Amino acid sequence: MASGSIFIVMGVSGSGKTTIGELLAKELAIPFHDADDFHSAANKAKMGNGIPLTDDDRRDWLAQMAAGISEWEKTGGAVLACSALKETYRQTLQGGAEQPIHWVFLDGSRELLRSRLEHRTDHYMKADMLDSQLETLEKPGYGVRIELSNEQSPQNIVAQIIQDYAPQDVAK
């Protein structure tokens, strides 16, 4: 892997960002970070009550991650699981990086995502919030796009990501 590479695994809630991000980080032997860990208690409470976040709610959250990206590049790279729903959010995150970020977009049908969310336990993001995320999502036209299905294993998705970024950016 190019030294200091940053991979952001993005998509709406239920797309598998954390699962794929953790596996990708393990495969690449770099740290994993979850954007959920950067949310304030107020943001988590708001989402837990079914209230979508605003751009203002996300401003400090994005700034913290952009600062982290700058540090992670200097210490060998990282994988970040982050919804990054809007292009302006992705630009804020990219602003923390000296090198281009490697984007991975996990894209799934509303039905598949809702099913996953309905089976999730102990998470502040409820299935009812999916529609607001899908409405907010601005799908990127760059990076690796993974079309999700129930037939794919997380390991196969990670292998596809590595294949799509190899050999120029990822070396084992």
Domains and CATH numbers, the chain: 6-165 (3.40.50.300)
Tracing tokens 């799509």 back to the chain, one arrives at 164
Exposure of 112 in the CB half-sphere (CA atoms within 13 A):
13
pLDDT at position 11 is 95
Instruction: Pick the most confident of 61-65, 113-117, 146-150.
Output: 61-65
Residue 120 has pLDDT above 70, yes or no: no
pLDDT at position 116 is 85
pTM of the model: 0.89
- Pair of tokens at residue 56: 């203002």
Cα–Cα distance between 43 and 48 in angstroms, integer?
8
* Average of per-residue pLDDT across 4-24: 94
Cα–Cα distance between 26 and 6 in angstroms, integer?
14
Cα–Cα distance between 150 and 164 in angstroms, integer?
21
Summarize pLDDT for 36-62 with one digit per residue, the tens.
999 999 998 888 888 888 999 999 999
The answer to whether the beta carbons of residues 125 and 134 sit under 8 Å apart is: no
pLDDT at position 126 is 56
* Average of per-residue pLDDT across 21-38: 96
Question: For the packed helices 17-28 and 154-165, what is the interaxial angle rounded to 10 degrees?
Answer: 60
For the ranges 46-50, 95-99, 101-105, 140-144, the lowest mean pLDDT is seen at: 46-50
Cα–Cα distance between 127 and 57 in angstroms, integer?
20
pLDDT at position 67 is 96
